[in-house]
Amino acid sequence: MNLDVIDNKIYVSSLEIARVFEKRHDNIIKSIESLPNDSFRLLNFEVSEEVRKNGIFEKPTKYYNLTRDGFSLLVMSFTGSKAYFWKTAFIDAFNKMESQLKTPKIPENYIQALELALTQAKTINALEYKIQNDKPLVTFAKTVTDASNAISIGEFAKLLFDENIKIGQNRLFKYLRENKYLLMNNQPYQEYLEKGYFKLIESTYETSYGQRIATKTLITGKGQIYFTEKLKRDF
């Protein structure tokens, strides 16, 4: 059986219910849509759609995501020993999933630690805004930058090696340029700066012609997560 977690809430789809209880999905849909169109149905039966291929054609299929309460109401009329087994199995699965969501997950690697930091940063930012709503809002990208260390491309290449992505600094620069994340001077396109994937820092140095400014590209915590997942698919 398969349960889904959407926005930290647990659902089971009408497609999964039809599969497990060996019922026609259109009959499951009819049962749901015959319920009173009240607040309970609105909160516990969320309509959705997926596209399925039939040969060369694509056909949208309507289905519902059900909460535990929605599931319990729907299957109340299902009878028989097999139905009883699956009812209790689903309720047990809901309970276990709820317990997992309530238990903080300890990060097992660097990327999971970054994801946790980003989630915490979003929560802190929301609370601060609620308490001090007279202050200007800080953009999400800025929040991420403050919450997680921005690192150089070379440092990021070393972290990727730990994630078994053996790309190296030079190939990483080349990849980012060829895929239009970085310009030829290794500075990010404005689009990805605004998305919060990169950060530019400036430093000054002395030459025989006077003081000069050097610009260095760093990858933010948000960018590290984005590019790690992308590189896992591409390499």
Give tens-digit pLDDT for 109-160: 766 677 767 776 766 666 666 656 544 434 434 443 443 478 889 889 988 8
Residues of the chain with pLDDT > 70, as a percent, come to 76
Pick 205 or 215 by higher pLDDT: 215
Task: Give Cβ neighbours of residue 229 (< 8 Å, ≥ 6 apart).
Answer: none
Read off the pTM. 0.43
The pLDDT of 59-79, averaged and rounded, is 89
Calculate mean pLDDT across residues 56-76: 87
Distance of CA 154 to the CA centre of its chain: 26
Q: Which long-range contacts (CB under 8 A, 24 or more apart) does 73-82 make?
A: 73/35, 73/40, 73/44, 74/17, 74/28, 74/31, 74/32, 75/17, 75/21, 78/21
134 or 26: which leads in pLDDT: 26
- Answer yes or no: is pLDDT of 165 > 60: yes
Domains in the chain: boundaries: 4-102, 107-235
